Amino acid sequence: MRPNILLPLFVIVTYVDGAIFKLQNQTHIHCIDENKDSTILIYPPAETLESSSNLLEDKKWFNDDWEEKETKNLPTAHILDSRWQEIPVIKTNYLHFDLFRSVSISVYTPKNFEIFIYSDTQASYITPPIENNYWNHFTIISTDKDIITIHNNKTIRKQVNFQPKYVVFKSENETFLKIHHDRLVRWSNTTSKQPTVLTVPPTESPCMILYSSLCPNCTLHIHHSRKGKKTIHATAQEPDMIEYWQTTEVEIDPNRENQITFYRKNMHGQSSGYWAIEFQLCKKTNMVSYKINSEETPNFTCETLIKTKRKAYEGNIVEPCSSGRFGTYCNITCESVLGKEFSQCEKCQICVNETYCYCASGYKGEKCSKFCEAGKWGPSCRKQCEDCSGCDPKTGKCHHPFGKPLGRGQRNKSTAIVLLLTTVAMSMTTVCAVLLICLRLAILYRRDFSAILFQ
Ligand X SMILES: *[C@@H]1O[C@H](CO)[C@@H](O)[C@H](O)[C@H]1NC(C)=O
Q: Is 163 or 316 the residue whose CB approaches ligand X more closely?
A: 316
Q: Is 74 or 385 the residue whose CB approaches ligand X more closely?
A: 74
Q: Is 224 or 284 the residue whose CB approaches ligand X more closely?
A: 284
- Min CB(35)–ligand X separation in Å: 9
Looking only at the bridges linking them, the beta strands covering 114-118 and 147-151 are: unpaired
Q: Is 356 or 445 the residue whose CB approaches ligand X more closely?
A: 356
Q: Which of 94, 134, 133 is nearest to 115 (CA)?
A: 94
- Exposed (0-12), middle (13-18) or buried (19+): which is 1, by Cβ within 10 Å? exposed
- Min CB(334)–ligand X separation in Å: 10
Interface with ligand X (CB under 6 A): 25-28, 67, 80, 111, 153, 172-173, 189, 215-217, 235, 239, 244, 268, 272-273, 284-285, 298-299, 306, 317-318, 329, 331-332, 338, 347, 352-353, 355-356
- Min CB(383)–ligand X separation in Å: 17
Compute CA distances 148 → 76, 122, 139, 151, 162, whole Å.
Answer: 11, 15, 8, 10, 10
- Min CB(115)–ligand X separation in Å: 19
- Min CB(284)–ligand X separation in Å: 5
- Min CB(348)–ligand X separation in Å: 7
Q: Is 61 or 449 the residue whose CB approaches ligand X more closely?
A: 61
Q: Residue 51 and residue 338: Cα distance in Å, rounded?
A: 13
The alpha-carbon radius of gyration of the chain (Å, integer) is: 35
Residues 6+ apart with CB under 8 A from 373: 381
Compute CA distances 58 → 61, 181, 185, 200, 292, whole Å.
Answer: 10, 24, 16, 7, 33
Q: Would you say 230 and 275 are in contact if contact means Cβ atoms under 8 Å apart?
A: no
Q: Would you say 222 and 232 are in contact if contact means Cβ atoms under 8 Å apart?
A: yes
Q: Which of 92, 107, 27 is nearest to 347 (CA)?
A: 27
Q: Is 58 or 240 the residue whose CB approaches ligand X more closely?
A: 240
Q: Strand, helix or coil at 22?
A: strand
DSSP at 225: T
Q: Residue 414 and residue 37: Cα distance in Å, rounded?
A: 58
- Min CB(48)–ligand X separation in Å: 15
Q: Is 284 or 376 the residue whose CB approaches ligand X more closely?
A: 284
Peptide bond into 254 cis (omega under 30): no
CB atoms near residue 102 (< 10 Å):
25
- Min CB(397)–ligand X separation in Å: 25
Q: Is 353 or 410 the residue whose CB approaches ligand X more closely?
A: 353
Q: Would you say 19 and 292 are in contact if contact means Cβ atoms under 8 Å apart?
A: no
* Beta partners for residue 291, in sequence order: 28
Q: Which of 308, 309, 326 is nearest to 317 (CA)?
A: 326
**DSSP run (H or E) holding 338:** helix 334-338
- Min CB(30)–ligand X separation in Å: 6
- Min CB(352)–ligand X separation in Å: 5
Q: Is 117 or 218 the residue whose CB approaches ligand X more closely?
A: 218
Q: Residue 18 and residue 36: Cα distance in Å, rounded?
A: 8
Q: Is 270 or 422 the residue whose CB approaches ligand X more closely?
A: 270
